[in-house]
Structure 1
């Protein structure tokens, strides 16, 4: 089947799914709506980690081993920075700096984050539409043992070690969806809307916190299918399972489905976990994405579930 596909995504895990989608559907028919709650200013630079991870992954420039940053990166800038006593908890590679410097420059000239992101995607010939969730500032903060932390301090500097008690999205109430976001979700000719296996609380919730996006998903004409981030009772990467425990949740697909209640029509779950106890349509697949073939397989399985749901309406 053909038709437009919209995917809500965070960083590494979501970028893998989008890369698979690029093989399973025509790139020009894909829109990725990306979390910007992780965005922050560091050393005066505007940094958008999830957008950059997507750009690097889709252009073949990502570090294959770690999933973020550039392959073959060099660190002359960081070495010079450290020699001057600068903060070195957040690594900025020499090649990576090009995105941050240009983004900061263009934003200072009055361009929007949407426009800057489209420039980068076009420069690397990616073909799909990459939209930040909002052009307005939204910042994820976690209330942890010892006090509240901005997201990057929690995630990078402290490596997710503090126990999380609550999460808030500063600026979300005043933010507006970026141009094209609501149209992509509400497209009457769309085939599917996918929610990537990104962290539901840290990567997808910031998107849903922008006024209008959750309602648009609830009313979307196309089936909304989430890919569970749980594989074999654990998260593949990142703090999802740890965070769920700290928030008093069972680490299972029922908790994922409950979290997305009211906005998803189906859930793709891993074969190691199965769908027992789920009250919504689901399919079972091997959702572990190590290779490109794996990523294509998962993308096709998610689209097939959406097609099955649409056929049953």
Structure 2
């Protein structure tokens, strides 16, 4: 069994690649970017992974359902209502279903599993916790939800801090703990370490399980040289006092991961990574198309068997 911690659009490629080379995959998803909008509970990272595994993902945008329309948000604009978050019409059905089931007393885990099955996702998907955790970005303009910072503000404001509201009270899902204990390998996807993986590491019970499993945990760097592969990781890492480099990623994961996979061009940083008590491994970590996804997945799956 292989488990992967995933969050953001940087994860879905590797998740999809792993699902193409192994049938025994469980995905633990970030919940820190979940948000209440229009009375609905929206879970962007969970949905991106679900749509990716169900062959529904809009590849050009990296989120939402391919071929979706946006009549709902267009109508909200005409009515003078906030419409900065792009909920597609088919995507909207997912959030209506989720919210209805939550209000009937179902847990987020139960709803996520049911949605994945209904939509045809090929692997098991679990939220990191059934409790609400909110990633809050501190800026000179004040605190704002991650989605407001990233979507509404276009990640333009300076970042002075990142916090995970509710994480100190949250408990990992029971199935999350079970799969971490049973997995041959736990992979941390090449996602934004602070905003996509950080909310999960901030959940005490989940972090403790990863610390215990450290030698079975391998992280994939989302940074090549001094640049993120995508997204605003540099802003978040600097705000967290981290160097924007594979070594900075290693310092963030040093307590929970036994090894870090870096780009071949970053091999000169191997010594610095090893100073954090981690093994450094190198691979082609850029995933271009299905072949690129499967190539990195086979490499990581091979490490699980070794």
- 1:60 and 2:55 equivalent? yes
Q: How does 1:218-233 map to 2 (within 5 A)?
A: 218-220=211-213, 223-233=216-226
Partner of 1:251: 244
Q: How does 1:249-288 map to 2 (within 5 A)?
A: 249-274=242-267, 275-277=269-271, 278-279=273-274, 280-288=278-286
Partner of 1:8: 5
Partner of 1:289: 287
Structure with the bigger percentage of helix: 2
Q: How does 1:157-168 map to 2 (within 5 A)?
A: 157-168=152-163
TM-score by length of 1: 0.92
| Residue of structure 1 aligned with 2:302, choices 299, 304, 308 | 304
Number of residue pairs matched?
A: 301
Contact 1:7–1:18 (CA<8 Å) still a contact in 2?
yes
Secondary structure at the aligned position of 2:86 is classed as coil
Structure 2 CA distance for aligned equivalents of residues 117 and 171 of structure 1: 20
- 1:83 and 2:101 equivalent? no
Secondary structure at the aligned position of 1:111 is classed as coil
Partner of 2:19: 22
How far residue 123 of structure 1 moved from its aligned partner, in angstroms, is 1.1
Secondary structure at the aligned position of 2:265 is classed as coil
Partner of 2:205: 212
Greater Cα offset, 217-226 or 44-53: 217-226
- 1:241 and 2:238 equivalent? no
Kindly provide the CA deviation profile for residues 42-95 of structure 1, in whole angstroms up to 9, marking residues without a partner as x.
Answer: 111110000000011111111111211111111111111111111111111111
Structure 2 CA distance for aligned equivalents of residues 295 and 225 of structure 1: 17
How far residue 248 of structure 1 moved from its aligned partner, in angstroms, is 4.1
Kindly provide the CA deviation profile for residues 125-163 of structure 1, in whole angstroms up to 9, marking residues without a partner as x.
Answer: 323211101111111101112211111111111111112
Ranges in structure 2 where 5+ consecutive residues have no aligned partner = none
Partner of 1:195: 188
Kindly provide the CA deviation profile for residues 168-220 of structure 1, in whole angstroms up to 9, marking residues without a partner as x.
Answer: 11111111111201111111xx2200000111100101011112111101112
Contact 1:185–1:216 (CA<8 Å) still a contact in 2?
yes
Structure 1 CA distance for aligned equivalents of residues 185 and 35 of structure 2: 31
| Residue of structure 2 aligned with 1:132, choices 117, 127, 144 | 127
Structure 2 CA distance for aligned equivalents of residues 163 and 248 of structure 1: 14
Secondary structure at the aligned position of 2:89 is classed as coil
Ranges in structure 1 where 5+ consecutive residues have no aligned partner = 309-313
TM-score by length of 2: 0.94
Secondary structure at the aligned position of 2:204 is classed as coil
Partner of 1:311: none
How far residue 272 of structure 1 moved from its aligned partner, in angstroms, is 2.7
Structure 2 CA distance for aligned equivalents of residues 38 and 106 of structure 1: 20
Secondary structure at the aligned position of 1:110 is classed as coil
Secondary structure at the aligned position of 1:212 is classed as helix
Structure 2 CA distance for aligned equivalents of residues 24 and 154 of structure 1: 36
